[in-house]
Amino acid sequence: MIELTDEILAKVIKKRKKASYKGTYGRLLVIGGNRQYGGAAILATTSAVYSGAGLVSVALAKENHSALQARLPEAMTLDFDDLIKLREVAKAADVIVIGPGLGLERLDLLTEVLNLLTENQKLVIDGSALTLFAREHLDLPFPENTVFTPHEMELERLSGLKIGQQTKEEVQGFVNQLGAIVVAKSSETRIFAPNRESFILKIGSPAQATGGMGDTLAGMVGGFLAQFHGETEEVVAAATYLHSLIASVLAQKSYVVLPSRLIEEIPLFMKKYECN
Amino acid sequence: MIELTDEILAKVIKKRKKASYKGTYGRLLVIGGNRQYGGAAILATTSAVYSGAGLVSVALAKENHSALQARLPEAMTLDFDDLIKLREVAKAADVIVIGPGLGLERLDLLTEVLNLLTENQKLVIDGSALTLFAREHLDLPFPENTVFTPHEMELERLSGLKIGQQTKEEVQGFVNQLGAIVVAKSSETRIFAPNRESFILKIGSPAQATGGMGDTLAGMVGGFLAQFHGETEEVVAAATYLHSLIASVLAQKSYVVLPSRLIEEIPLFMKKYECN
Amino acid sequence: MIELTDEILAKVIKKRKKASYKGTYGRLLVIGGNRQYGGAAILATTSAVYSGAGLVSVALAKENHSALQARLPEAMTLDFDDLIKLREVAKAADVIVIGPGLGLERLDLLTEVLNLLTENQKLVIDGSALTLFAREHLDLPFPENTVFTPHEMELERLSGLKIGQQTKEEVQGFVNQLGAIVVAKSSETRIFAPNRESFILKIGSPAQATGGMGDTLAGMVGGFLAQFHGETEEVVAAATYLHSLIASVLAQKSYVVLPSRLIEEIPLFMKKYECN
Amino acid sequence: MIELTDEILAKVIKKRKKASYKGTYGRLLVIGGNRQYGGAAILATTSAVYSGAGLVSVALAKENHSALQARLPEAMTLDFDDLIKLREVAKAADVIVIGPGLGLERLDLLTEVLNLLTENQKLVIDGSALTLFAREHLDLPFPENTVFTPHEMELERLSGLKIGQQTKEEVQGFVNQLGAIVVAKSSETRIFAPNRESFILKIGSPAQATGGMGDTLAGMVGGFLAQFHGETEEVVAAATYLHSLIASVLAQKSYVVLPSRLIEEIPLFMKKYECN
């Protein structure tokens, strides 16, 4: 496994070109945020915007629109029950992040998205969408550039590998079969791509162990995929590494690192580490 | 009485272990926040999250969900009129904080919780729930690790001891009979546990005397109980001490210390004082 | 006229006593905030809380509750159409601030309050309530400690004195007849009390000339009246002076001073200038 | 073309006069913010307030009122479906900004405004209103002081000039015929006025290329027009220059510049560059 270092950031985070506009940095759609878990979608969406995605929309329960807009006027909002609008925005998206706070009752939205996406789109499957995917044994097609972001229990559900059995070899085998990138989250997060060398993350802090951190990572992964067009697993690795890097720096002064606090730092850290 | 000092913090606030995840730091549920007092539940919940509780939910009037999410996307929200959902989340909780902004009309929720809780759960009874408990002469069982957080008038209602009679001996006698921890809030807050030495807090500032401070303390006590597993009265004492410590530091530059400002400091102060 | 200086602050802003609790610092109720002008009530209420009033409620249109709570969980909220609740809270209040964003259609609330208040309560009449008072030629009684906070046009409506005629002598004559304190807001604000020497404010900045500044002042005046029990016109003068002092300091670095930015400074400036 | 420098700021941003009040700095109305694009109206309105416009209202979908007020209590809110109220406020406005997040379904509001405005009012046409104007070949009259703020694709729709053909000469020809000021946004934004020398902006950063930046500029242009009464194209140029100046300074430390972050700096930069 390749141990990730700051180098992955300089490799992935390109200096922006003068002649560019918001469309250059991608259209991203987050789908999630039912009534109980609205905050998860808010965090993922905010994280995507602060990572630099050019145009960000979020489809979530309409009861959560007001809170989303109060925190993040930079994003556009859809009611996740308005399928006509949702399809329209999903078709135009470069990246879709599905799952943060979606809820296990919305299998319909996951299948809708899987049926709709085409090969030139990118997909991040997180949170409730992972559990739905595992539970329903979905064998719907997904784009080549699809990223699953399970924590250990979700990986168990997805792969059948018990937590104690999630060795490098076993997970790699599963990933080769799955045909997608997998961010296997744990205290030492690993990133696997089919038939590629995997990455391991040795930084990170237990101060990150708090509700909303996974949603924040999903948004960052989406935000990076929207803008950066190198090897997909490297782009994903850079987002994941940066997430833990920021957390570990903030953890030097903070017993617990709040996701909303981490998000504020994203554009500042990206600037420090951008390619020169 | 033992006078509390910084030592209680180093004793209680453990350095987090590398191999941990959000579940390690506990599931906490706040129940409160009716239409008039929504802010109380928002403050208690925010305080619990900033204290480091791993997974925090709040059950409150649905009119308050939007404000809660706009301030704190890290928390999950329930409608406190949806008893089925409430029971499900309450059963899975390690700690329940009931009372901040609950309102005197919601005896049903207090009895629901008291009937539902088992011995391995922890309970904080604050605000309206204290008054309800006193008024209704509830003799429902509560877990061994239950904490009451009355101010002087609430303690009078609870114990029958007039404010002038709330001496160490009298309150200790009441606490022995009650069989729960009591945080007796006043300008010199004391913490009593049944048949144990009590603690007294000599720090603290009149700048703390403002609406919402009690709710903030209740959330901190809950947050500490969710994570720290030493002697319960020491964990409660540490949370109470830290609350006043932060207030007294902020009061050096601020005529009144706003609860929402105090909350921002919690993770920073916890880091400074964590056990090394 | 007495020119106000920093001395008024040290005279009025008392050091808080150790043995005090939130009730010591007064119960305050803001009434205002219809659908169009919700922000005015939010600013007045926030300003009262940040000035140190102990327990603050606001009665406003229910459409505005969510925004109020999202900004200020320290306050309690009432629907200004729920007269039963409103009367209950108004009767228990030490100070009522009526008018910020109330709207000219709510004469009923103004008359309700004037009929309800007793001599030991204090009243601040601002914004729409000033115009209603003038327009309706209300001759309802008001408590001795009532403060009107008109700008020049509102003072014209109230007193019949054209803007050019609002000389010290003429306004003093009107105030003697009115029997209340008048804060005559202008680029050189003056404070008049019946048969007393008046105060004039030479500090202040045109950077204050922006929407919401008057609401902020009304909240500060209310907040000061809730806590400080010296001569009423001095308490009012101190609040008014501090409002302009903060604005003029912020204006050194800011072309326009936003009310919400000014409010954050209130407790910090109060600490600097408190009586030693 | 005249290359814009800091000089335009000192020329336009006048030191405020002591004897002034909020009305001196203009009444401004933003019209936009349908359910999907509420954030656009929030950003434009916030930007206008932070630029120093004296009294700012916004007409937007009522679902967005709560978020607007939670972020910006300094503004007044109207339901954009309440035409009676909208007309009343529009008639009293010095400046109207129409378009941010308006949506292509609201042609009615654009024609309403164009029919209503008189020559002494100023108008900024942005976002959806530009597309509507182009699509409907509107030949309704607009005030002399009207500003269109198209990006390259919107300018193509408006003028018929393909993006590659938008040379200085061609755009100037179109502007002379249109009879309004045009801010032609691109990586080198240009400002054209009928039969006048045009301005070009060489500063600015690709970090600005993110959703909401255009809305923020529209609000600044409106805010400047409300207060500053020099040559209209110079006032517009100053606002546009300042927008890019702030972005380029923030971009030194931030990979992407969030509109809401940029807005906070407006009054601070205006103070630095005001005329002495």
∠C38-C41-C44 over CA atoms, to 5°? 150
Q: Where are the alpha helices (DSSP H) in chain C?
A: 7-12, 38-50, 65-71, 83-92, 107-116, 128-135, 152-159, 168-178, 213-227, 232-250, 259-273
Helix axis angle for C232-250 and C213-227, nearest 10°, is: 140
Kind and range of the H or E element at A16?
Answer: none
Query: Which residue in chain D has the smallest CA separation from B68?
Result: D70
Query: Which residue in chain B has the smallest CA separation from C20?
Result: B206
CA D89 to chain centre: 18
Residue B136's pLDDT is 85
Cβ atoms of A127 and A101 within 8 Å: the answer is yes
Instruction: Identify which of B241, B214, B276, B260 has the alpha carbon closest to the alpha carbon of residue B50.
Output: B260
Amino acid at C254: S
Residue C276's pLDDT is 76
Residue C191: strand pairing partners:
C183, C199
Inter-chain residue contact C35 with D67, CB threshold 8 Å:
no
Residue B103's pLDDT is 97
Q: Tokens representing A200?
A: 């391991």
Residue D139's pLDDT is 80
Amino acid at A131: T
Cα dist from A115 to A108, A139, A141, whole Å: 11, 11, 7
What is the phi/psi pair of residue A59, to 5°? -105, 115
Q: What average pLDDT does the segment D245-258 reach?
A: 98
Residue B140's pLDDT is 85
Q: What average pLDDT does the segment B179-199 reach?
A: 97
Q: Is the pLDDT of residue B67 over 90?
A: yes
The whole-angstrom separation of Cα C152 and Cα D192 is 41
Instruction: Identify which of B180, B186, B187, B270 has the alpha carbon closest to the alpha carbon of residue B232.
Output: B180
Q: Is the pLDDT of residue D271 over 80?
A: yes
Number of Cβ within a 10 Å radius of residue A136: 12
Inter-chain residue contact B258 with C66, CB threshold 8 Å:
no
Q: What average pLDDT does the segment B135-143 reach?
A: 86
Residue D254's pLDDT is 98
Residue A19's pLDDT is 85
Q: Is C67 on the interface with A (CB under 8 A)?
A: yes
Q: What is the residue whose two structure tokens read 């030949």?
A: D139
Q: Is D70 on the interface with B (CB under 8 A)?
A: yes
Considering only CB atoms, which chain D residues are within 8 Å of C63?
A: 62, 65-66
The whole-angstrom separation of Cα C74 and Cα A92 is 43
Q: Tokens representing D261?
A: 């972050």
Residue A137's pLDDT is 77
Residue C27's pLDDT is 98
Instruction: Identify which of A216, A206, A263 has the alpha carbon closest to the alpha carbon of residue B23.
Output: A206
Residue A276's pLDDT is 76
Kind and range of the H or E element at A232?
Answer: helix A232-250
The whole-angstrom separation of Cα C31 and Cα D166 is 55
Residue B262's pLDDT is 98
Q: What is the residue whose two structure tokens read 């200038």?
A: C273
What is the phi/psi pair of residue D258, to 5°? -75, 135
Best of C156, C210, C254 to substitute, by most chain D Cβ atoms within 10 angstroms, is C210
Q: Tokens representing B231?
A: 């002697």
pTM of the model as a whole: 0.97
Q: Is B25 on the interface with A (CB under 8 A)?
A: yes
Considering only CB atoms, which chain C residues are within 8 Å of D55?
A: 211
pLDDT in tens, C122-169: 999 999 999 999 998 778 889 999 999 999 999 999 999 999 999 999
Q: Considering chain A, what is the average pLDDT of its residues? A: 96
Q: Digits of tens for pLDDT over chain C (276 positions)? A: 999 999 999 999 999 998 888 999 999 999 999 999 999 999 999 999 999 999 999 999 999 999 999 999 999 999 999 999 999 999 999 999 999 999 999 999 999 999 999 999 999 999 999 999 999 877 888 999 999 999 999 999 999 999 999 999 999 999 999 999 999 999 999 999 999 999 999 998 999 999 999 999 999 999 999 999 999 999 999 999 999 999 999 999 999 999 999 999 999 999 999 987
Cβ atoms of C227 and D72 within 8 Å: the answer is no
pLDDT band at A16 (very low <50, low <70, confident <90, very high): very high
Length of chain C counted residue by residue? 276
Looking at per-residue confidence, does A202 or C276 come out higher? A202
Residue A185: strand pairing partners:
A151
Sign of CA dihedral B222, B224, B228, B234: negative
Sheet with C181-184: strands ordered across: C2-3, C199-200, C190-192, C181-184, C146-148, C122-125, C95-98, C27-31, C55-60, C76-79
The whole-angstrom separation of Cα D39 and Cα A70 is 8
pLDDT in tens, A30-67: 999 999 999 999 999 999 999 999 999 999 999 999 99
Residue C138's pLDDT is 78
Amino acid at C211: G
The whole-angstrom separation of Cα C196 and Cα A241 is 69
The whole-angstrom separation of Cα B191 and Cα B185 is 8
Cβ atoms of B124 and B191 within 8 Å: the answer is no
DSSP code at position A151: B
Residue A147: strand pairing partners:
A124, A181
Q: Is the pLDDT of residue D163 over 80?
A: yes
Q: Is D255 on the interface with C (CB under 8 A)?
A: no
Q: Is the pLDDT of residue A136 over 90?
A: no
Q: How far apart are the first and last CA of chain D?
A: 27
Instruction: Identify which of A19, A89, A27, A18 has the alpha carbon closest to the alpha carbon of residue D152.
Output: A19
| D200 Cβ contact list (under 8 Å, min separation 6) | D1, D2, D3, D4, D188, D189, D190, D191
The whole-angstrom separation of Cα C52 and Cα C90 is 19
Q: Tokens representing C220?
A: 């500060």
Q: What average pLDDT does the segment D213-219 reach?
A: 98
Query: Which residue in chain A has the smallest CA separation from B272?
Result: A253
The whole-angstrom separation of Cα D62 and Cα D240 is 30
Phi-psi region of C202 (alpha: psi -120 to 50; beta: other; left: phi over 0): alpha
Residue C125: strand pairing partners:
C98, C148
Cα dist from B191 to A248, B176, B177, B188, C66, whole Å: 35, 13, 15, 10, 36
Q: Is B254 on the interface with C (CB under 8 A)?
A: yes
Cβ atoms of C229 and B217 within 8 Å: the answer is no
The whole-angstrom separation of Cα D220 and Cα D239 is 6
Residue B137's pLDDT is 77
Query: Which residue in chain C has the smallest CA separation from D85?
Result: C36
Out of C21, C76, C267, name the one closest to residue B37 (CB): C76
Q: Tokens representing A238?
A: 């850079």
Q: What is the residue whose two structure tokens read 């390619």?
A: A275
Q: Rounded to a whole number, what is the distance in Å from the CA of D31 to chain B's nearest CA?
A: 24
Size of interface C-D (CB pairs under 8 A): 112
Residue C147's pLDDT is 98
Q: Rounded to a whole number, what is the distance in Å from the CA of A201 to chain D's nearest CA?
A: 23
What is the percentage of chain D residues whose pLDDT exceeds 70? 100
Considering only CB atoms, which chain C residues are within 8 Å of A70?
A: 67, 70
Residue C252's pLDDT is 97
The whole-angstrom separation of Cα A26 and Cα A56 is 8
Cβ atoms of C218 and C127 within 8 Å: the answer is yes
Inter-chain residue contact B69 with A211, CB threshold 8 Å:
no
Amino acid at B80: F
Q: Rounded to a whole number, what is the distance in Å from the CA of C264 to chain D's nearest CA?
A: 14
Out of C13, C62, C74, name the one closest to residue B258 (CB): C74
pLDDT in tens, A215-274: 999 999 999 999 999 999 999 999 999 999 999 999 999 999 999 999 999 999 999 999
Q: Is A70 on the interface with C (CB under 8 A)?
A: yes
Residue C151: strand pairing partners:
C185
Considering only CB atoms, which chain D residues are within 8 Å of A66?
A: 63-64, 66-67, 70
Residue A3's pLDDT is 98
What burial letters (b/e) apply to D12-49, b meaning 16+ CB within 10 Å?
bbeebeeeebbeebbbbbbbbbbbbbbbbbbbbbbbbb
Please, which residues 175-204 of chain D have a Cβ atom closer than 8 Å to chain A?
A: 186-187
Out of A20, A22, A62, name the one closest to residue D211 (CB): A22
Cβ atoms of B189 and B204 within 8 Å: the answer is yes
Query: Which residue in chain D has the smallest CA separation from B69?
Result: D67
3 state DSSP class of B148:
strand
The whole-angstrom separation of Cα A226 and Cα A123 is 10
CA C235 to chain centre: 11
Query: Which residue in chain A has the smallest CA separation from C68?
Result: A70
The whole-angstrom separation of Cα D234 and Cα D219 is 16
